[in-house]
Amino acid sequence: MGLSVRAEKVSRAVQNGLGRIPVLGGSSGDGMQFTETRVCADGAFRTGSAVLVLISTMLPFRTFKTDHFVPTDDRVVVTRADADRRVVYEIDGRPAAEAYAQLVGVPVAELTVQHYAECPMVVMIAGTKYLRAIRSANADGSLTFYCAIEEGLVLRAARGVGLAEKLEDTFVEIETAIGRPQLVMGCDCILRKVEAKFRGLVGQSLVGIVLIEDGRFTYSNSRFADMFGYSEPEIRERGPLELTVPNDREFVADNLRRRLTGAIDRTDFVFRGLRKNGEVLDAECHSKVMQVGGRRMLISMVLDISTRAAAEREILVLQEQLREESTHDSLTGLYNRRFLDASFARELVLAERSGEPVSVIMCDLDHFKRVNDRYGHQAGDEVLRAFGELMKQHARASDIFYRYGAEDFLMVLPGLASEGALERAEQLRSALANLTVEHGDGRIRVTASFGVATFPADGRSSDALIAAADGALYTAKAARRNQAQSGR
């Protein structure tokens, strides 16, 4: 805090008495009242008192001060002042408050402690800046300062930079010089606390705040206006539905209406907002009814959750992809063996209940290793994909296709008897034999062998049926391949 005149004299006397021993200190106060100081000692608060603490240590230490202000090129001169009272009446021959307000860029009547905190005056002495913080603007147009002030002093307006960053840089320098501090004792200016509080509130303005009355915005903070790309006056010319995509307007209107009528205690919902430039954002709204001057209005907090919503949508897509990958073969898009275990057993249960047959076709591409050896594995993958597409083209809606192994495929055909399954296998065999797969400069032709088994004649379990179809497949291969054989 700024020192009172009396406290400053005492501080100077203490410093003179201690000689080269560094002194760090300030006056305690009563917030922004500045009527008296209070010191807590022996369990009681005392006025008109001071505390002196002498510290002796063998540890390395540093005394330091920080500020985060940069002087501007705007220079003014104190032309009339009361140095003892630290009151400046005129700056550049004009009322001091008026001159300062012009430097800050606001009307005199709107000067607040926030301006004094963010825009102090600076005195440059031998290249070093010394802050001259303003305490108040007075009714007679004068300014009262915390620090020593006198006529003829050249002052420069200052603008703040990163408060936290400057303090962090200072502690980095201290830690570099003496190691990590075990104890820090400090005094802070009340205006710095005001500025930190204000900047903290601004930094927390992730939430847009609006008042809604008679279907229109009667107030909005800057965050809400920025969120939707409007100026604050433009926002107050609009209503909530104008900032909502058309498809969500009925939903938003219903939520706001039910909250205003008391049908629901609180309103928390997500909607798609419409920015001024036509872009769509995802927004989350929390609303509460309040009475102001006997009038009923809605205060709403609105958050831009576009990033979160996009991440959630991406997660849903990834989850769907994972579900797809867990049951499908990534190369051919057919079901994999993991899905076979559950789905085949279910089909057999249904067949048992209905008395309908279920046929199984096992297929193996003939001499597939030769394709990989001659044309390469990428060509082999192209052949597998082509055969997978061929299987889908010859499928009924109820048929289920699986990639069973490297070049092995399995078809489950509910409701199809052995003769029909054998006919289906023959159709697929013929289609593949007439298919040419092009890869690079190569034109690849392949054939396949097929084995057919049917529930319940060839087995009553999935394992038994697959084994029967596999046996028929090997019979086809033994009979010079490129043919279909039945388990019976």
Q: How far apart (Å, rounded) are the C-alpha atoms in residues 146 and 337?
A: 81
110 belongs to the catalytic site: no
- In angstroms, the Cα distances linking 460 to 342, 343, 345, 354, 357 are 15, 15, 10, 14, 10
* Tokens representing residue 363 in the block: 């297929």
C-alpha distances in Å from residue 259, one per residue of 120, 182, 214: 46, 54, 13
Would you put residue 249 in left (φ > 0), alpha (ψ -120 to 50) or beta?
A: alpha
Are 131 and 120 in contact, with CB atoms under 8 Å apart?
yes
User: Catalytic one among 98, 407, 419, 423?
Assistant: 407
How many of the other CB atoms lie within 10 Å of CB of 396?
Answer: 10
**Contact by Cβ (8 Å): 477, 461:** no
Return the HEC string of the chain: CCCCHHHHHHHHHHHHHHCCCCCCCCCCCCCCCCCCCCEEECCEEECCCCCCCCCCCCCCCCCCCCCCEEEEEEEEEEEEEECCCCEEEEECCEEHHHHHHHHHCCCHHHCCHHHHHHCCEEEEECCEEEEECEEEECCCCCEEECCCCCCCCEEEEEEECCHHHHHHHHHHHHHHHHCCCCCCCCCCCHHHHHHHHHHHHHHCCCEEEEEEECCEEEEECHHHHHHHCCCHHHHCCCCHHHHECHHHHHHHHHHHHHHHCCCCCCEEEEEEEECCCCCEEEEEEEEEEEEECCEEEEEEEEEECHHHHHHHHHHHHHHHHHHHHHHECCCCCCECHHHHHHHHHHHHHHHHHHCCCEEEEEEEECCHHHHHHHHCHHHHHHHHHHHHHHHHHCCCCCCEEEECCCCEEEEEEECCCHHHHHHHHHHHHHHHHCCCEEECCEEECCCEEEEEEEECCCCCCHHHHHHHHHHHHHHHHHCCCCCEEECC
Residues 401 and 409 sit within 8 Å (Cβ to Cβ): yes
User: Taking a C-beta distance cutoff of 8 angstroms, is the pair 253, 246 a contact?
Assistant: no
Active site residues: 407
